[in-house]
Amino acid sequence: MPVILWSDALVFLLLAAGIACAWYVRQREHLLLPWRRVAQSATAMVSLLVLSLFLLVGLLDTLHFQAALSEKNSGETVYSPEVLSVFDLLVTPLRTQTEKTYSAPLAVALYAKESIEMPDGKVLREYPRLRYGGAHLTDTQRQDSDILWRGLTGALAGLLAGLLIALVGKRWLAQRGWPLRALLIATLIIAAIIGMTAKLAAAYHVLGTDKVGQDVLYLSLKSIRTGLIIGTVTTLVTLPLALLLGIAAGYWRGRVDDVIQYIYTVLSSIPSVLLIAAAVLMMQVTIDTHPQWFDTSASRADLRLVFLCLILGVTSWTGLCRLLRGETLKLREMEYIQAAQAFGVSSLRILTRHIMPNVMHIVLISLVMDFSGLVLAEAVLSYVGVGVDPSMISFGTMINGARLEMGREPMVWWALASAFGFMLVLVLAANLFADTVRDAFDPRLNRTEMVA
């Protein structure tokens, strides 16, 4: 039975809006022009490739369902209370093959010694073998060669698949002036890494397991959705607020401007972490005092995520609003606006036809620039205790859980390293892409070199 959580619905809404925008831009050559400049940049396209992989994982993880349990007494089918996603289904082995507790990446034995009773009655203190990690090995001496063999064959298979994709893609992209060589190299590297990981993950825990024995690779991949949602759904709140209020303040000035300026000065004068903390604490009280609102724990965690996006949106629209107000103040004095006013064009039409399209580059730049900041903020907020629900898998909760194990000897480093590593790749790709977008859309930059 498909389940649409609140955040899923919002993601679908965003996706639909994104596709609609893309279709609209495709029809218009002048809007397409800056995107062509983005497409010529090797860094931007490679970043986009990485980002779209993250997006793919996130989207697969957004298609939720409740599995039907085979029910003995006939009649209605009963659904499992556990909400799963298509992504969970794809990586079922990763999700279900849990160990007892910590184990290092690619290990065959647990991280801590345990008392094992031998067949002859003696008790031995030893590192017990893992239930799944390297379970196919009869002789643990062969572990290294097995890993090497699997890694190599996996990478090779990945390379072959990557070449195939590249060949198909090349024909399709041939005349577009895209940086083919950079894309080819990136595709091959990514394909090799994915192939190697997939082959190894079939037999080992590639990134180890956490305290309750869950596979860290699975947790990291699941965290992607949370990060992406925080980074994107928040714009659903910031965008309308900033756009409407910013343009209204700049266009009508006077009283309207005073009121809007007052609102955003009040909001921006509160340090944002504190405002977020206060709002999240209050939301927590509401959620805790109304347990009857939620039928599954997933829907509760999900609603908390949506609220967090809402709160982040309410606290972060002020910057964009100020920019838009300033730009509108400038635009409304332009000749073409005055001409439109003189012709008696209605305010609404002036706003939508003449002002809105001319501030869109600011909106776009600020949206892509904010994305990475929001992904990073999630981890910090979860650490402070005002982030996502503790039961929700995210980079923040992973770091939070692993942080407490810093003091162990030998150190449990893999969960931290994976969370930081995945976050770095995501945020770096987003930052690089955002930079190119800004350069392509910012009219202040000198464009002569790009035209030539």
Partner 1 sequence: MIAYLIRRILYSLPILVGVNLLTFALFFVVNTPDDMARMQLGIKRVTPDAIEKWKQQRGYDKPLLLNSAASGTDKITGTIFWQKSASMFVLDFGYSDDGRSIGREITTRMGPSLAIALPTFLIGLVAYVSFALLMTLFRATALDMAGVALCVLLMSVSGLFYIIGGQFVVSKLWHLVPISGYDGGMGGFKFVVLPVVIGVIGSVGSSSRWYRTIFLEEIGKDYVRTARAKGLSELAVLFRHVLKNAMIPILTGVVVIIPLLFMGSLLTESFFGIPGLGSYTIDAINAQDFSVVRAMVFLGSLLYIVGLILTDISYTIVDPRVRLS
Q: Does 380 help bind partner 1 (rule: CB under 8 A)?
A: yes
Q: Does 275 help bind partner 1 (rule: CB under 8 A)?
A: yes
Residue number, 122 or 255, with CB nearest to partner 1: 255
Out of 423, 436, 440, 441, the only residue in the binding site for partner 1 (CB under 8 A) is 423
Q: How many residues bind partner 1 (CB under 8 A)?
A: 44
Q: Does 270 help bind partner 1 (rule: CB under 8 A)?
A: yes
Residue number, 155 or 440, with CB nearest to partner 1: 440
Query: From residue 316 to residue 355, what is the string marking binding to partner 1 with x (rule CB under 8 A)?
Result: ----------------------------------------
Out of 1, 17, 152, 282, the only residue in the binding site for partner 1 (CB under 8 A) is 282
Helix, strand, coil share of the chain (percent; to 5): 70, 5, 25
Out of 21, 285, 339, 404, the only residue in the binding site for partner 1 (CB under 8 A) is 285
Out of 248, 350, 427, 440, the only residue in the binding site for partner 1 (CB under 8 A) is 427
Residue number, 79 or 383, with CB nearest to partner 1: 383
Residues in CB range of 105: below 8 A, 6 or more apart: 204, 205, 206, 207, 208, 216, 414
Rounded-to-integer distance, Cα 162 and Cα 193, Å = 10
Residues in CB range of 424: below 8 A, 6 or more apart: none
Residues in CB range of 282: below 8 A, 6 or more apart: none
Q: Does 262 help bind partner 1 (rule: CB under 8 A)?
A: yes
Out of 84, 200, 279, 440, the only residue in the binding site for partner 1 (CB under 8 A) is 279
Q: Does 242 help bind partner 1 (rule: CB under 8 A)?
A: no
Q: Does 286 help bind partner 1 (rule: CB under 8 A)?
A: yes
Q: Does 408 help bind partner 1 (rule: CB under 8 A)?
A: no
Q: Does 372 help bind partner 1 (rule: CB under 8 A)?
A: yes
Report yes or no: 42 and 209 within 8 Å, Cβ to Cβ: no
Q: Does 289 help bind partner 1 (rule: CB under 8 A)?
A: yes
Rounded-to-integer distance, Cα 183 and Cα 58, Å = 22
Q: What is the DSSP string of 79-139?
A: EEEEEEEHHHHHTHHHHH---SS-B-TT-SB-SS-EEEE-TTS-EEEE-PBPSSTTTT-S-
Instruction: Identify the three-state secondary structure at position 248.
Output: helix
Q: What is the CA radius of gyration of the chain?
A: 26
Report yes or no: 207 and 217 within 8 Å, Cβ to Cβ: yes
Residue number, 36 or 403, with CB nearest to partner 1: 403
Residues in CB range of 34: below 8 A, 6 or more apart: 361, 440, 441
Rounded-to-integer distance, Cα 95 and Cα 17, Å = 32
Residue number, 95 or 438, with CB nearest to partner 1: 438
Out of 69, 174, 406, 450, the only residue in the binding site for partner 1 (CB under 8 A) is 406
Report yes or no: 179 and 41 within 8 Å, Cβ to Cβ: yes
Out of 55, 169, 431, 447, the only residue in the binding site for partner 1 (CB under 8 A) is 431
Q: In this structure, what token pair is assigned to residue 13?
A: 């809404």
Out of 249, 374, 379, 440, the only residue in the binding site for partner 1 (CB under 8 A) is 379
Q: Does 265 help bind partner 1 (rule: CB under 8 A)?
A: yes
* Ramachandran angles phi, psi of 83, nearest 5°: -90, 120
Q: Does 278 help bind partner 1 (rule: CB under 8 A)?
A: yes
Rounded-to-integer distance, Cα 224 and Cα 259, Å = 39
- Which residues contact partner 1 (rule: CB under 8 A)? 262-263, 265-267, 269-271, 273-275, 277-279, 281-282, 284-286, 288-289, 291, 372, 376, 379-380, 383-386, 395, 399, 403, 406, 411, 416, 420, 423-424, 427-428, 431-432, 435
